[in-house]
Amino acid sequence: MDFLMAVFPILVVLCGMLFLSRSGVFMSVVGWLLAGAVAVFYFKTPLSVVWGASIYGIVKAFAITFAVAFTMLMIFLMKESGALNEIVRTITSITKDKVQQTLFIGMGFGSLATSLGVVTPALFPPVFLALGFTPLAAVAISVLCYDPLTSFALLSIPITLPAHVAWGPFGIRPPGIGNLDHFIWSFTQHITIFLPVVSVGFAFMMLYFVDGWQSIKKYWKGATIAGLTLSLTALILAFLKIFPVEVIGIISGLLTMVVSLLIYNRGLKVEADAKFWRAVSPWLLLFFFSLVANYPPIKKFLANLPGNLEVLTIAGKKEDLNILSHVYFWIFVSLLISVPILKPTKEQFNRAFSLWMKRVWGPFLAYSLFFAVAFIMAWSGMEFVNGKLKPMADFSHLNMDLIIGVTLAKAFGSFYPLISPFLGLLGAFVGGSETASNVLFAKIQYGAVASTVGASVFMAVYGAHAVAGGIASAITPSKITNAAALVGVKGKEEGKLLKTLIFPVLALTLFVGIMLQIIVMVSK
Protein backbone atom coordinates (compact mmCIF):
# COMPACT_ATOMS: atom_id res chain seq x y z
CA MET A 1 0.00 0.00 0.00
CA ASP A 2 2.85 2.39 0.83
CA PHE A 3 4.36 1.87 -2.62
CA LEU A 4 1.02 2.47 -4.38
CA MET A 5 0.45 5.69 -2.47
CA ALA A 6 4.01 6.86 -3.15
CA VAL A 7 3.65 6.40 -6.93
CA PHE A 8 -0.01 7.52 -7.00
CA PRO A 9 0.68 11.15 -8.10
CA ILE A 10 2.95 9.92 -10.91
CA LEU A 11 0.41 7.33 -12.07
CA VAL A 12 -2.39 9.89 -12.12
CA VAL A 13 -0.32 12.26 -14.25
CA LEU A 14 0.57 9.43 -16.60
CA CYS A 15 -3.05 8.28 -16.97
CA GLY A 16 -4.28 11.84 -17.42
CA MET A 17 -1.92 12.47 -20.31
CA LEU A 18 -2.07 9.03 -21.89
CA PHE A 19 -5.75 8.15 -21.63
CA LEU A 20 -7.56 11.44 -21.01
CA SER A 21 -5.46 13.58 -23.38
CA ARG A 22 -4.98 16.29 -20.77
CA SER A 23 -2.12 18.74 -21.23
CA GLY A 24 1.17 18.54 -19.36
CA VAL A 25 0.42 21.92 -17.80
CA PHE A 26 -2.91 20.78 -16.39
CA MET A 27 -1.48 17.50 -15.14
CA SER A 28 1.49 19.26 -13.53
CA VAL A 29 -0.99 21.15 -11.33
CA VAL A 30 -2.88 17.93 -10.57
CA GLY A 31 0.36 16.08 -9.83
CA TRP A 32 1.57 18.82 -7.50
CA LEU A 33 -1.71 18.91 -5.56
CA LEU A 34 -1.83 15.12 -5.25
CA ALA A 35 1.83 14.84 -4.22
CA GLY A 36 1.25 17.43 -1.51
CA ALA A 37 -1.94 15.76 -0.29
CA VAL A 38 -0.37 12.28 -0.20
CA ALA A 39 2.72 13.59 1.60
CA VAL A 40 0.62 15.36 4.26
CA PHE A 41 -2.25 12.94 4.86
CA TYR A 42 -0.66 9.56 4.22
CA PHE A 43 3.04 10.02 4.90
CA LYS A 44 2.48 12.44 7.82
CA THR A 45 4.67 15.21 6.39
CA PRO A 46 3.99 18.64 7.93
CA LEU A 47 2.31 21.09 5.57
CA SER A 48 5.12 23.57 6.17
CA VAL A 49 7.60 21.06 4.70
CA VAL A 50 5.39 20.55 1.64
CA TRP A 51 5.18 24.30 1.07
CA GLY A 52 8.91 24.68 1.61
CA ALA A 53 9.66 21.83 -0.81
CA SER A 54 7.36 23.39 -3.42
CA ILE A 55 8.97 26.81 -3.20
CA TYR A 56 12.45 25.32 -3.17
CA GLY A 57 11.65 23.19 -6.22
CA ILE A 58 10.26 26.16 -8.12
CA VAL A 59 13.41 28.19 -7.37
CA LYS A 60 15.67 25.27 -8.39
CA ALA A 61 13.73 25.13 -11.66
CA PHE A 62 14.75 28.72 -12.50
CA ALA A 63 17.74 27.39 -14.43
CA ILE A 64 15.43 25.75 -16.96
CA THR A 65 12.27 27.85 -16.71
CA PHE A 66 14.07 31.12 -17.47
CA ALA A 67 16.29 29.44 -20.08
CA VAL A 68 13.21 28.10 -21.87
CA ALA A 69 11.42 31.44 -21.54
CA PHE A 70 14.26 33.53 -22.99
CA THR A 71 14.95 30.96 -25.70
CA MET A 72 11.30 31.02 -26.77
CA LEU A 73 11.45 34.80 -27.12
CA MET A 74 14.67 34.53 -29.13
CA ILE A 75 13.15 31.95 -31.49
CA PHE A 76 9.92 33.90 -31.94
CA LEU A 77 11.91 37.05 -32.72
CA MET A 78 14.12 35.18 -35.20
CA LYS A 79 11.03 33.76 -36.87
CA GLU A 80 9.20 37.08 -37.13
CA SER A 81 12.29 38.93 -38.43
CA GLY A 82 12.83 36.32 -41.14
CA ALA A 83 16.08 35.00 -39.64
CA LEU A 84 14.84 31.43 -39.35
CA ASN A 85 13.59 31.44 -42.93
CA GLU A 86 17.00 32.64 -44.08
CA ILE A 87 18.76 29.90 -42.12
CA VAL A 88 16.45 27.23 -43.52
CA ARG A 89 16.79 28.62 -47.07
CA THR A 90 20.58 28.44 -46.92
CA ILE A 91 20.58 24.94 -45.46
CA THR A 92 18.08 23.50 -47.92
CA SER A 93 19.96 25.05 -50.87
CA ILE A 94 22.98 22.83 -50.23
CA THR A 95 21.15 19.49 -49.99
CA LYS A 96 20.07 17.63 -53.12
CA ASP A 97 17.54 14.92 -52.19
CA LYS A 98 15.22 13.74 -49.42
CA VAL A 99 17.71 11.29 -47.92
CA GLN A 100 20.46 13.89 -47.64
CA GLN A 101 17.97 16.44 -46.35
CA THR A 102 16.81 13.94 -43.72
CA LEU A 103 20.33 13.24 -42.47
CA PHE A 104 21.62 16.81 -42.83
CA ILE A 105 18.63 18.59 -41.34
CA GLY A 106 17.26 15.78 -39.17
CA MET A 107 20.44 14.42 -37.62
CA GLY A 108 22.86 17.34 -37.99
CA PHE A 109 21.01 20.63 -37.95
CA GLY A 110 18.25 19.21 -35.78
CA SER A 111 20.73 18.22 -33.07
CA LEU A 112 22.57 21.53 -33.33
CA ALA A 113 19.32 23.49 -33.17
CA THR A 114 18.08 21.40 -30.23
CA SER A 115 21.34 22.12 -28.39
CA LEU A 116 20.70 25.83 -28.94
CA GLY A 117 17.17 25.62 -27.57
CA VAL A 118 15.06 25.16 -30.70
CA VAL A 119 12.12 22.80 -30.28
CA THR A 120 12.29 21.14 -33.70
CA PRO A 121 8.65 19.91 -33.73
CA ALA A 122 7.64 23.57 -33.51
CA LEU A 123 9.85 24.69 -36.41
CA PHE A 124 10.71 21.95 -38.89
CA PRO A 125 7.37 20.47 -40.14
CA PRO A 126 6.68 23.28 -42.67
CA VAL A 127 10.30 23.04 -43.84
CA PHE A 128 10.07 19.33 -44.64
CA LEU A 129 6.63 19.81 -46.19
CA ALA A 130 8.07 22.50 -48.50
CA LEU A 131 10.84 20.08 -49.50
CA GLY A 132 8.25 17.60 -50.79
CA PHE A 133 7.86 15.27 -47.80
CA THR A 134 4.41 13.91 -46.97
CA PRO A 135 2.69 15.59 -44.01
CA LEU A 136 3.15 12.46 -41.89
CA ALA A 137 6.87 12.23 -42.75
CA ALA A 138 7.32 15.95 -42.08
CA VAL A 139 5.84 15.54 -38.61
CA ALA A 140 7.70 12.33 -37.82
CA ILE A 141 11.17 13.53 -38.84
CA SER A 142 10.65 16.87 -37.07
CA VAL A 143 9.77 15.07 -33.83
CA LEU A 144 12.66 12.60 -34.21
CA CYS A 145 15.09 15.49 -34.84
CA TYR A 146 14.82 16.36 -31.17
CA ASP A 147 15.92 12.96 -29.88
CA PRO A 148 19.44 11.82 -30.86
CA LEU A 149 21.15 14.26 -28.46
CA THR A 150 18.30 15.31 -26.17
CA SER A 151 20.57 15.28 -23.11
CA PHE A 152 22.50 18.18 -24.67
CA ALA A 153 19.37 20.23 -25.43
CA LEU A 154 19.31 23.89 -24.47
CA LEU A 155 23.07 23.98 -23.80
CA SER A 156 22.98 20.66 -21.89
CA ILE A 157 20.50 21.68 -19.19
CA PRO A 158 19.12 18.07 -18.94
CA ILE A 159 22.61 17.15 -17.69
CA THR A 160 23.80 20.13 -15.67
CA LEU A 161 20.61 21.06 -13.81
CA PRO A 162 19.75 17.55 -12.52
CA ALA A 163 23.41 17.12 -11.55
CA HIS A 164 23.25 20.28 -9.43
CA VAL A 165 20.04 19.06 -7.78
CA ALA A 166 21.32 15.52 -7.20
CA TRP A 167 24.63 16.63 -5.74
CA GLY A 168 23.24 19.62 -3.85
CA PRO A 169 19.83 19.46 -2.15
CA PHE A 170 19.34 15.72 -2.77
CA GLY A 171 22.75 14.95 -1.28
CA ILE A 172 23.52 12.03 -3.62
CA ARG A 173 27.15 10.95 -3.18
CA PRO A 174 28.12 8.05 -5.47
CA PRO A 175 31.41 6.37 -4.49
CA GLY A 176 34.39 7.78 -6.37
CA ILE A 177 32.69 11.09 -7.22
CA GLY A 178 34.58 13.84 -5.43
CA ASN A 179 32.73 17.04 -6.30
CA LEU A 180 29.95 18.54 -8.40
CA ASP A 181 32.15 19.09 -11.45
CA HIS A 182 33.23 15.44 -11.32
CA PHE A 183 29.56 14.42 -11.03
CA ILE A 184 28.61 16.46 -14.13
CA TRP A 185 31.40 15.02 -16.28
CA SER A 186 30.80 11.46 -15.09
CA PHE A 187 27.08 11.86 -15.83
CA THR A 188 27.88 13.20 -19.30
CA GLN A 189 30.33 10.39 -20.05
CA HIS A 190 27.92 7.67 -18.99
CA ILE A 191 25.20 9.20 -21.17
CA THR A 192 27.42 9.23 -24.24
CA ILE A 193 28.30 5.55 -23.83
CA PHE A 194 24.77 4.62 -24.91
CA LEU A 195 24.40 7.20 -27.69
CA PRO A 196 26.00 5.32 -30.63
CA VAL A 197 23.19 2.76 -30.60
CA VAL A 198 20.50 5.34 -29.91
CA SER A 199 21.62 7.88 -32.52
CA VAL A 200 21.94 5.28 -35.28
CA GLY A 201 18.52 3.95 -34.28
CA PHE A 202 16.97 7.38 -34.71
CA ALA A 203 18.71 7.86 -38.06
CA PHE A 204 17.10 4.62 -39.25
CA MET A 205 13.70 5.74 -37.95
CA MET A 206 14.00 9.01 -39.87
CA LEU A 207 14.89 7.15 -43.07
CA TYR A 208 11.87 4.88 -42.63
CA PHE A 209 9.57 7.88 -43.05
CA VAL A 210 11.24 8.83 -46.34
CA ASP A 211 10.33 5.67 -48.25
CA GLY A 212 9.76 2.85 -45.77
CA TRP A 213 12.14 -0.08 -45.53
CA GLN A 214 13.45 0.65 -49.01
CA SER A 215 15.18 3.78 -47.75
CA ILE A 216 16.80 1.88 -44.89
CA LYS A 217 18.01 -0.92 -47.18
CA LYS A 218 19.46 1.52 -49.70
CA TYR A 219 20.89 4.21 -47.44
CA TRP A 220 21.70 2.42 -44.18
CA LYS A 221 25.40 3.16 -44.55
CA GLY A 222 24.84 6.92 -44.71
CA ALA A 223 22.45 6.78 -41.74
CA THR A 224 24.96 4.75 -39.75
CA ILE A 225 27.78 7.18 -40.54
CA ALA A 226 25.64 10.19 -39.58
CA GLY A 227 24.48 8.56 -36.36
CA LEU A 228 27.98 7.48 -35.36
CA THR A 229 29.46 10.88 -36.24
CA LEU A 230 26.95 12.59 -34.00
CA SER A 231 27.28 10.20 -31.07
CA LEU A 232 31.00 9.46 -31.18
CA THR A 233 31.82 13.18 -31.39
CA ALA A 234 29.80 13.73 -28.22
CA LEU A 235 31.46 10.71 -26.58
CA ILE A 236 35.00 11.80 -27.47
CA LEU A 237 34.40 15.38 -26.33
CA ALA A 238 32.88 14.12 -23.08
CA PHE A 239 36.00 12.12 -22.25
CA LEU A 240 38.54 14.66 -23.51
CA LYS A 241 36.88 17.53 -21.59
CA ILE A 242 38.39 20.12 -23.95
CA PHE A 243 35.11 22.03 -24.28
CA PRO A 244 32.43 22.80 -21.67
CA VAL A 245 29.61 20.28 -21.40
CA GLU A 246 27.24 23.03 -22.50
CA VAL A 247 28.56 23.17 -26.11
CA ILE A 248 29.17 19.47 -26.83
CA GLY A 249 25.81 19.09 -28.60
CA ILE A 250 26.44 22.13 -30.79
CA ILE A 251 29.83 20.87 -31.97
CA SER A 252 28.51 17.33 -32.53
CA GLY A 253 25.56 18.57 -34.59
CA LEU A 254 27.74 20.89 -36.68
CA LEU A 255 30.23 18.12 -37.51
CA THR A 256 27.37 15.79 -38.46
CA MET A 257 26.05 18.42 -40.87
CA VAL A 258 29.45 18.56 -42.58
CA VAL A 259 29.78 14.77 -42.77
CA SER A 260 26.21 14.41 -44.08
CA LEU A 261 27.11 16.73 -46.96
CA LEU A 262 30.32 14.90 -47.71
CA ILE A 263 28.63 11.47 -47.77
CA TYR A 264 26.69 12.24 -50.94
CA ASN A 265 28.68 15.16 -52.41
CA ARG A 266 32.13 14.88 -53.92
CA GLY A 267 33.03 18.27 -52.61
CA LEU A 268 31.75 20.57 -49.89
CA LYS A 269 30.72 23.99 -51.14
CA VAL A 270 28.62 26.15 -48.90
CA GLU A 271 27.88 29.73 -49.83
CA ALA A 272 26.48 31.95 -47.13
CA ASP A 273 25.96 35.69 -47.61
CA ALA A 274 25.71 38.49 -45.09
CA LYS A 275 22.00 37.81 -44.59
CA PHE A 276 22.77 34.30 -43.35
CA TRP A 277 25.41 35.42 -40.87
CA ARG A 278 23.09 38.12 -39.56
CA ALA A 279 20.33 35.51 -39.21
CA VAL A 280 22.49 33.16 -37.13
CA SER A 281 23.98 35.98 -35.03
CA PRO A 282 21.90 35.13 -31.91
CA TRP A 283 23.22 31.57 -31.95
CA LEU A 284 26.80 32.64 -32.67
CA LEU A 285 26.65 35.05 -29.74
CA LEU A 286 25.17 32.38 -27.50
CA PHE A 287 27.86 29.88 -28.50
CA PHE A 288 30.61 32.43 -27.79
CA PHE A 289 29.19 33.52 -24.44
CA SER A 290 28.65 29.91 -23.40
CA LEU A 291 32.28 29.06 -24.13
CA VAL A 292 33.57 32.09 -22.23
CA ALA A 293 31.13 31.95 -19.29
CA ASN A 294 31.82 28.26 -18.70
CA TYR A 295 35.60 28.63 -18.65
CA PRO A 296 36.24 27.56 -15.01
CA PRO A 297 38.03 30.69 -13.71
CA ILE A 298 35.50 32.99 -15.39
CA LYS A 299 32.57 30.86 -14.24
CA LYS A 300 33.82 31.00 -10.65
CA PHE A 301 34.33 34.76 -10.90
CA LEU A 302 30.80 35.32 -12.27
CA ALA A 303 29.28 33.07 -9.60
CA ASN A 304 30.98 35.00 -6.79
CA LEU A 305 30.59 38.50 -8.22
CA PRO A 306 27.15 39.40 -6.73
CA GLY A 307 28.10 37.92 -3.34
CA ASN A 308 25.20 37.52 -0.92
CA LEU A 309 22.88 39.68 -3.03
CA GLU A 310 21.62 36.57 -4.86
CA VAL A 311 21.52 34.20 -1.88
CA LEU A 312 18.04 33.19 -0.72
CA THR A 313 17.03 31.26 2.39
CA ILE A 314 14.20 28.84 1.62
CA ALA A 315 12.86 26.30 4.08
CA GLY A 316 15.95 26.69 6.22
CA LYS A 317 18.28 26.11 3.27
CA LYS A 318 20.47 28.70 1.59
CA GLU A 319 20.22 28.79 -2.19
CA ASP A 320 22.73 30.78 -4.24
CA LEU A 321 21.04 31.72 -7.52
CA ASN A 322 24.38 32.25 -9.34
CA ILE A 323 22.54 34.30 -11.94
CA LEU A 324 25.58 35.52 -13.88
CA SER A 325 26.97 32.01 -14.36
CA HIS A 326 23.70 30.43 -15.49
CA VAL A 327 22.97 29.86 -19.17
CA TYR A 328 19.65 31.72 -19.04
CA PHE A 329 21.46 34.99 -18.25
CA TRP A 330 23.63 34.62 -21.37
CA ILE A 331 20.64 33.64 -23.51
CA PHE A 332 19.07 36.92 -22.40
CA VAL A 333 22.28 38.86 -23.13
CA SER A 334 22.56 37.25 -26.58
CA LEU A 335 18.94 38.14 -27.23
CA LEU A 336 19.46 41.80 -26.31
CA ILE A 337 22.59 42.16 -28.43
CA SER A 338 21.04 40.42 -31.43
CA VAL A 339 17.97 42.70 -31.60
CA PRO A 340 19.78 45.58 -33.36
CA ILE A 341 21.51 43.02 -35.61
CA LEU A 342 18.28 41.29 -36.67
CA LYS A 343 16.57 44.69 -37.04
CA PRO A 344 12.98 43.57 -36.56
CA THR A 345 10.31 46.13 -37.33
CA LYS A 346 8.11 47.40 -34.54
CA GLU A 347 5.26 45.24 -35.82
CA GLN A 348 7.49 42.13 -35.96
CA PHE A 349 8.79 42.73 -32.45
CA ASN A 350 5.28 43.25 -31.09
CA ARG A 351 4.02 40.04 -32.74
CA ALA A 352 6.95 38.06 -31.36
CA PHE A 353 6.49 39.50 -27.87
CA SER A 354 2.72 38.97 -27.94
CA LEU A 355 3.11 35.33 -29.01
CA TRP A 356 5.74 34.83 -26.34
CA MET A 357 3.46 36.22 -23.62
CA LYS A 358 0.73 33.80 -24.69
CA ARG A 359 2.88 30.67 -24.84
CA VAL A 360 5.59 31.10 -22.20
CA TRP A 361 3.41 30.51 -19.13
CA GLY A 362 2.54 26.92 -19.96
CA PRO A 363 6.06 25.44 -20.00
CA PHE A 364 7.14 27.78 -17.18
CA LEU A 365 4.36 26.49 -14.93
CA ALA A 366 4.78 22.83 -15.93
CA TYR A 367 8.53 22.76 -15.30
CA SER A 368 8.13 24.62 -12.01
CA LEU A 369 5.48 22.29 -10.62
CA PHE A 370 7.15 19.06 -11.75
CA PHE A 371 10.26 20.23 -9.89
CA ALA A 372 8.04 20.99 -6.90
CA VAL A 373 6.69 17.42 -7.06
CA ALA A 374 10.24 16.06 -7.08
CA PHE A 375 11.14 17.94 -3.90
CA ILE A 376 7.87 17.11 -2.14
CA MET A 377 8.63 13.42 -2.70
CA ALA A 378 12.26 13.86 -1.65
CA TRP A 379 11.33 15.76 1.55
CA SER A 380 8.37 13.61 2.55
CA GLY A 381 8.78 12.09 5.99
CA MET A 382 10.82 15.09 7.19
CA GLU A 383 10.10 17.95 9.59
CA PHE A 384 11.53 21.27 10.69
CA VAL A 385 13.48 21.19 13.96
CA ASN A 386 14.75 24.59 15.10
CA GLY A 387 14.36 25.88 11.55
CA LYS A 388 16.33 23.01 9.99
CA LEU A 389 14.99 20.14 7.90
CA LYS A 390 15.43 16.81 9.67
CA PRO A 391 14.22 13.22 9.02
CA MET A 392 11.31 12.14 11.20
CA ALA A 393 11.61 9.15 13.52
CA ASP A 394 10.09 6.70 11.03
CA PHE A 395 11.69 8.30 7.96
CA SER A 396 12.44 5.04 6.13
CA HIS A 397 8.72 4.20 6.10
CA LEU A 398 7.54 7.73 5.31
CA ASN A 399 9.83 8.95 2.50
CA MET A 400 8.16 8.45 -0.88
CA ASP A 401 11.41 8.21 -2.87
CA LEU A 402 12.91 5.70 -0.48
CA ILE A 403 9.77 3.54 -0.50
CA ILE A 404 9.65 3.46 -4.31
CA GLY A 405 13.35 2.71 -4.61
CA VAL A 406 13.37 -0.10 -2.03
CA THR A 407 10.22 -1.69 -3.47
CA LEU A 408 11.64 -1.72 -6.99
CA ALA A 409 14.91 -3.11 -5.64
CA LYS A 410 13.12 -5.99 -3.93
CA ALA A 411 11.03 -6.71 -7.01
CA PHE A 412 13.89 -6.91 -9.53
CA GLY A 413 16.99 -7.56 -7.43
CA SER A 414 20.20 -7.89 -9.41
CA PHE A 415 18.28 -7.41 -12.69
CA TYR A 416 17.17 -3.91 -11.69
CA PRO A 417 19.53 -2.24 -14.22
CA LEU A 418 17.66 -4.00 -17.03
CA ILE A 419 14.39 -2.21 -16.26
CA SER A 420 15.74 1.03 -14.75
CA PRO A 421 15.85 2.93 -18.10
CA PHE A 422 12.08 2.51 -18.38
CA LEU A 423 11.77 4.86 -15.40
CA GLY A 424 13.54 7.46 -17.52
CA LEU A 425 11.13 6.79 -20.37
CA LEU A 426 8.15 7.08 -18.01
CA GLY A 427 9.48 10.17 -16.27
CA ALA A 428 10.06 12.07 -19.50
CA PHE A 429 6.67 11.08 -20.85
CA VAL A 430 4.96 12.26 -17.66
CA GLY A 431 7.13 15.29 -16.96
CA GLY A 432 7.29 16.36 -20.58
CA SER A 433 11.08 16.52 -20.67
CA GLU A 434 14.24 14.60 -19.89
CA THR A 435 15.24 17.30 -17.41
CA ALA A 436 12.10 16.81 -15.32
CA SER A 437 12.59 13.04 -15.45
CA ASN A 438 16.23 13.27 -14.34
CA VAL A 439 15.26 15.41 -11.36
CA LEU A 440 12.10 13.50 -10.43
CA PHE A 441 13.77 10.07 -10.34
CA ALA A 442 17.29 10.91 -9.13
CA LYS A 443 16.78 9.82 -5.51
CA ILE A 444 14.53 6.93 -6.49
CA GLN A 445 17.19 5.54 -8.80
CA TYR A 446 19.92 6.06 -6.23
CA GLY A 447 17.94 4.26 -3.52
CA ALA A 448 17.09 1.35 -5.79
CA VAL A 449 20.63 0.99 -7.14
CA ALA A 450 22.20 1.18 -3.68
CA SER A 451 19.82 -1.56 -2.48
CA THR A 452 20.49 -3.92 -5.40
CA VAL A 453 23.73 -3.71 -7.38
CA GLY A 454 25.53 -1.10 -5.28
CA ALA A 455 25.88 2.69 -5.36
CA SER A 456 29.21 2.40 -7.21
CA VAL A 457 27.34 1.87 -10.51
CA PHE A 458 24.82 4.66 -9.94
CA MET A 459 26.34 6.96 -12.57
CA ALA A 460 25.94 4.29 -15.26
CA VAL A 461 22.31 3.72 -14.22
CA TYR A 462 21.62 7.45 -14.10
CA GLY A 463 23.20 7.89 -17.53
CA ALA A 464 20.96 5.16 -18.99
CA HIS A 465 17.97 6.77 -17.27
CA ALA A 466 18.75 10.09 -18.96
CA VAL A 467 19.20 8.49 -22.38
CA ALA A 468 15.85 6.72 -22.09
CA GLY A 469 14.27 10.06 -21.15
CA GLY A 470 15.62 11.45 -24.40
CA ILE A 471 14.23 8.51 -26.35
CA ALA A 472 10.80 9.25 -24.85
CA SER A 473 10.63 12.56 -26.69
CA ALA A 474 9.72 10.60 -29.82
CA ILE A 475 6.36 9.63 -28.32
CA THR A 476 5.62 12.68 -26.17
CA PRO A 477 2.05 13.73 -27.10
CA SER A 478 2.78 17.45 -26.78
CA LYS A 479 5.59 17.30 -29.36
CA ILE A 480 3.58 15.18 -31.81
CA THR A 481 0.50 17.40 -31.46
CA ASN A 482 2.57 20.57 -31.82
CA ALA A 483 4.24 19.34 -35.01
CA ALA A 484 1.01 17.94 -36.45
CA ALA A 485 -0.85 21.21 -36.00
CA LEU A 486 1.69 23.05 -38.17
CA VAL A 487 0.95 20.94 -41.28
CA GLY A 488 -2.71 20.05 -40.71
CA VAL A 489 -2.21 16.44 -39.63
CA LYS A 490 -5.22 15.28 -37.60
CA GLY A 491 -5.87 12.79 -34.80
CA LYS A 492 -5.97 9.67 -36.99
CA GLU A 493 -2.54 10.39 -38.49
CA GLU A 494 -1.18 11.28 -35.03
CA GLY A 495 -2.34 7.91 -33.76
CA LYS A 496 -0.74 6.17 -36.73
CA LEU A 497 2.54 7.96 -36.04
CA LEU A 498 2.47 7.04 -32.36
CA LYS A 499 1.78 3.38 -33.20
CA THR A 500 4.66 3.37 -35.69
CA LEU A 501 7.12 4.88 -33.21
CA ILE A 502 6.12 3.08 -30.02
CA PHE A 503 7.80 -0.24 -30.88
CA PRO A 504 11.22 1.14 -31.90
CA VAL A 505 11.15 3.48 -28.87
CA LEU A 506 10.50 0.57 -26.48
CA ALA A 507 13.06 -1.57 -28.32
CA LEU A 508 15.74 1.12 -28.03
CA THR A 509 14.97 1.54 -24.33
CA LEU A 510 15.21 -2.19 -23.77
CA PHE A 511 18.53 -2.29 -25.63
CA VAL A 512 19.82 0.48 -23.37
CA GLY A 513 18.72 -1.66 -20.40
CA ILE A 514 20.56 -4.70 -21.78
CA MET A 515 23.70 -2.62 -22.33
CA LEU A 516 23.42 -1.27 -18.78
CA GLN A 517 22.94 -4.75 -17.31
CA ILE A 518 26.12 -5.92 -19.08
CA ILE A 519 28.06 -2.84 -17.91
CA VAL A 520 26.98 -3.45 -14.30
CA MET A 521 27.84 -7.14 -14.46
CA VAL A 522 31.28 -6.43 -15.96
CA SER A 523 32.02 -3.69 -13.43
CA LYS A 524 31.30 -6.15 -10.62
For all residues of the chain together, what is the average pLDDT? 84
* CB of 440 closer than 8 Å to CB of 397: no
- Chain segment 108-118, per-residue pLDDT in tens: 888 988 887 77
CA atoms within 13 A on the CB side of 71: 24
| pLDDT at site 450 | 83
- Chain segment 237-248, per-residue pLDDT in tens: 999 999 989 889
Beta-sheet strands, E only, within 219-337: 311-314, 317-320
The answer on pLDDT for 301 being more than 90 is no
User: What is the DSSP pairing of strand 317-320 with strand 311-314?
Assistant: antiparallel
| pLDDT at site 515 | 95
Cα–Cα distance measured from residue 243 to residue 241, given in angstroms and rounded to the nearest whole number: 6
Cα–Cα distance measured from residue 359 to residue 350, given in angstroms and rounded to the nearest whole number: 14
CA atoms within 13 A on the CB side of 170: 31
Closest CA to 208 of 193, 196, 218, 198: 218
Cα–Cα distance measured from residue 132 to residue 170, given in angstroms and rounded to the nearest whole number: 49
| pLDDT at site 522 | 87
* Radius of gyration (C-alpha) of the chain in whole angstroms: 22
Q: Is 19 exposed, middle or buried (0-12, 13-18, 19+ CB in 10 A)?
A: exposed
> Distances in Å between the alpha carbon of 359 and those of 29, 68, 78, 355?
17, 11, 16, 6
Cα–Cα distance measured from residue 518 to residue 453, given in angstroms and rounded to the nearest whole number: 12
Cα–Cα distance measured from residue 416 to residue 234, given in angstroms and rounded to the nearest whole number: 27
Q: What is the mean pLDDT of residues 48-58?
A: 88
* CB of 417 closer than 8 Å to CB of 424: no
- Chain segment 166-215, per-residue pLDDT in tens: 898 888 999 989 899 999 999 999 999 999 999 999 999 999 988 888 88
Closest CA to 368 of 13, 112, 57, 2: 57
- What DSSP character marks residue 415? G
Question: Which residues make Cβ contacts (< 8 Å) with residue 109, sequence separation at least 6?
Answer: 91, 253, 257
User: What is the DSSP pairing of strand 382-385 with strand 388-391?
Assistant: antiparallel
**End-to-end alpha carbon distance in the chain:** 34
Helices (H) and strands (E) in the chain, counts: 26, 4
* Strand, helix or coil for residue 389: strand
- The model's pTM is 0.80
Cα–Cα distance measured from residue 149 to residue 71, given in angstroms and rounded to the nearest whole number: 18
Length of the chain in terms of residues written: 524
Of 77-91, 122-136, 462-476, the least confident: 122-136
Q: Which residues pair with 440 in a beta bridge?
A: none
Q: Taken in order 76, 108, 281, 236, is the CA torsion positive or negative?
A: positive
Q: What is the mean pLDDT of residues 383-394?
A: 81
